[in-house]
Amino acid sequence: MPTCTPVAAPPVSQLAVAADLLTLLRDTTTEPRPDIQLEALTLAVAADLPVLLWGEPGIGKTAALTQLATALDLPLTTVIASVHEPSDFSGLPVVGDDPAEQGVPMAPPDWAVRLVRAGRGLLFLDELSTAPPAVQAALLRLVLERRIGALQLPPGVRIVAAANPRSSAADGWELSPPLANRFVHLQWTHDHEVVVRGLGGTWPRATLPRLAPEKLPEAVDFARRAVCGLLAARPALVHRLPNSETRRGGPWPSPRSWDMTLSLIAFASAAGSSRDVLSLLVRGTVGDGPGLELLASVDRMDLPDPELLLADPTGAVLPERGDLRQAALDGVVAAVRARPDRARWDAAWALLVRAVETGAPDLVVVPASTLASLRREDWDVPASIEQLAGVVTLSRRADEAASRAKAAVRAGR
């Protein structure tokens, strides 16, 4: 009988094997993980404000935008700003049948047409700091008005850009002040733990903030009081163009950037975002100096009313954060000084005892010393002072010991 010769399997292409290996390498997952950079980015995207990510090359700005688009289910359109001409953003002139009658329309590029057809998407303007000034000027209308030629981008399109500092950009330029003032600037840095876990196959997941519907009116009112209260007291902060070219290419205060800040405060308040996230957003919109002043003003808005604390000192709820608790106690002492009487003085001592029982004892040292100096001759010393005497004495001894140690160090030099 004839024997059947087995048919040899065709050789496996090495490129096919390589493709399988690449597939395994790209097979990653995501997990919910606190990330203030990612939360600030998604909050600004939710607020429909243009965002500019600043960071050194290779730290994952593009990867973060790709993951953000996937998480938000938005089609991603990437445009490398530096390789385009100004007409690519302002529109290409197209001669029609009768230019004298109809004019010359400005035709938009194909990527803009695709965004309009989709009705939604994430427009990623990459390498913004390598775009020459003429291209940056053409981008002004796109970033602010969402218009390209005669085409209006739909409300469902969000704009995010990325840039490298001029020192590390390929043939980089400083951003023009008009363009820089249209963005929320976020400094993008790498987190060691996030990178290690991501290379292991699990990256943090970007999610839109959960806005509480019942908090929306309160959030808008809070944001308006915060911004208007600061600018009423500090009118010089309404518009302040930086002196240096480098700082003009970053965040700085103007009526436009304050309006963006107001929106971000409202969104952060409605979403219950942390102070760290709010700090990134505020400082990335009006700059570090005005932003920190605004954050301090917001903190003071959250302080309890000194009169309410004096009305019920034993049941008072003081802030948990040390600096806010210190400010609340100082406010109570200032209220007693402004309208001193025996009952208010005794209530303030009872509040300091409450502060010692519920928080760090050292925070009452300065308020206690100031309050003691307000005593009138006919006011008896309340028994509650005995509960604070040890704290004040121990603190003073510690200060004296520290002073002696410093003096000894200086003498030995």
Q: What is the pLDDT of residues 324-380, one digit of tens each?
A: 888 888 888 888 898 988 889 888 888 888 888 888 877 888 888 888 888 888 887
Residue 410 has pLDDT above 50, yes or no: yes
| Residue 95 binned pLDDT confidence (cut-offs 50, 70, 90) | low
**Does residue 172 contact residue 130 with C-beta atoms inside 8 Å?**
yes
| Residue 209 binned pLDDT confidence (cut-offs 50, 70, 90) | confident
Q: Where are the domains of the chain?
A: 30-94+105-204, 213-301, 306-408
- Residue 390 has what pLDDT? 58
CA 297, distance to chain mean position in Å, is: 16
Instruction: Give the number of other CB atoms < 10 A from CB of residue 290.
Output: 25
Q: What length does the chain have?
A: 413
Please provide residue 187's backbone torsions phi and psi, each rounded to the nearest 5 degrees.
-80, 120
Tokens of 225: 């009081």
The per-residue pLDDT for range 259-303, each reduced to its tens digit, is 999 999 999 999 999 999 999 999 999 999 999 999 988 888 778
- Residue 3 has what pLDDT? 63
What is the secondary structure of 220-250 as a DSSP string? HHHHHHHHHHHHHH-GGGSS---SSHHHHTS
List C-alpha distances in Å: 283 to 42, 264, 304.
16, 11, 26
Instruction: Give the DSSP H/E element, type plus range, for residue 51.
Output: strand 51-54
The domain defined by 30-94+105-204 folds into: Rossmann fold (3.40.50)
| Residue 394 binned pLDDT confidence (cut-offs 50, 70, 90) | very low
> Residues 97-132, buried b or exposed e (16+ Cβ, 10 A)?
eeeeeeeeebbbbeebeebeeeeebbbbbbbbbbbe
Tokens of 25: 């390498």
What average pLDDT does the chain have?
84
Reference 264, options 291, 230, 293; nearest CA is 291
| Residue 109 binned pLDDT confidence (cut-offs 50, 70, 90) | confident
Tokens of 173: 């330029």
- Residue 291 has what pLDDT? 94
Residue 50 has pLDDT above 90, yes or no: yes
The residue with tokens 């203030």 is: 36
Instruction: Say what percent of the chain tops pLDDT 90.
Output: 30
Cα separation, 304 vs 325, in Å, equals 10
- Residue 328 has what pLDDT? 86
- Between 375 and 223, the more confident residue is 223
- Residue 159 has what pLDDT? 94
- Residue 397 has what pLDDT? 44
- The structure's pTM equals 0.75
- Residue 131 has what pLDDT? 85
What is the DSSP secondary structure assignment for residue 168, as one 8-state letter? G
